[in-house]
Amino acid sequence: MIPADKSRWIACWLARDAESRIKKTFGTVRARGLDALRGEVARGPVLVVSNHTAWWDPVVLQYLCVRVLRADAYALMDAKNLARLPFFRKVGAFGVDLESPEDGVRAMRYAAKLLDAPGRIVWIFPQGKEVPITVRPLGFRAGSAEIARIAKKARVVPVAIRYEHGAEPQPDMWLSFGEPLAPETDRQRGRVAQEQAVADELDRIERALAGDGSDAFEHLCRRPPDRFFALAQALLSWLTRPREIG
């Protein structure tokens, strides 16, 4: 296992970079349940379990935890990737060898020890790798459920992340934060509950994309309109408009 070696100033710097990247890339970031998560973080440590679908996921994690929630955040990462990109240790990443059960046990105990105080978040992607958003079942590993079982002070919050292209050139980001899960003493039942909870949040996003307005998604940030592009488009439309004949 590779422990985190967190540097506050590096974490803040990379979080600002993450925010800048997100605002330049995405047209809109929509979120649901963020205020409730803020309350959970203020009351005690939080274990976040989330789907993992794209390169953007750890960037989103850094932006949310540092810039939005102002939390002391850590995240589990594949040890091979962390050895290749060791600067992630400075922002709270700790590594586990996914092929070693013994290393997995050490990482789970390490994560549980981190979850000891309000304002602390440990973020886990239980799928262990990037998986297309359409795949069901999600395929959660049991490690996050074991962390939840032994980290008695922590609340478990399911989070769904989705990136969606639509009518605008820039994609949109959708984030849905679910209600905390009930404590579970059995690891396998805990794994099933976590996976189902994240799938439910993904379904919530799916319904919102289909036009169901029953769940309120707030605009966390929105890219300002490209006025030059709009002007150029209007000018080109005027120049190429059909002319009347005769």
Check whether 237 has a pLDDT greater than 70.
Answer: yes
Structure confidence at residue 212 as a pLDDT band (50, 70, 90): confident
Q: Is residue 216 part of a domain?
A: yes
Q: Is residue 213 part of a domain?
A: yes
Report if pTM > 0.85.
yes
Q: Is residue 157 part of a domain?
A: yes
User: Which CATH number belongs to the domain containing residue 212 in this structure?
Assistant: 3.40.1130.10
**Residues whose CB falls within 8 Å of the CB of residue 113, separated by 6 or more in sequence, listed in order:** none
Q: Where in the sequence is the domain holding 30, given as residue range(s)?
A: 8-239
Structure confidence at residue 169 as a pLDDT band (50, 70, 90): confident
Beta bridge partner(s), residue 2: 95
Q: Is residue 1 part of a domain?
A: no
Q: Is residue 49 part of a domain?
A: yes
Cβ atoms within 10 Å, residue 59: 18
Q: State phi, psi for 112 to the nearest 5 degrees.
A: -65, -35
Q: Is residue 3 part of a domain?
A: no
pLDDT, tens digit, 9 for 90 and up, residues 153-166:
999 999 999 999 98
Q: Is residue 139 part of a domain?
A: yes
Would you state the pLDDT for residue 231? Answer: 72
pLDDT, tens digit, 9 for 90 and up, residues 4-49:
999 999 999 999 999 999 999 999 999 999 999 999 999 999 999 9
The mean pLDDT value of the chain amounts to 92
Q: Is residue 170 part of a domain?
A: yes
**Residues whose CB falls within 8 Å of the CB of residue 151, separated by 6 or more in sequence, listed in order:** 45, 47, 111, 112, 115
Domain count, the chain: 1
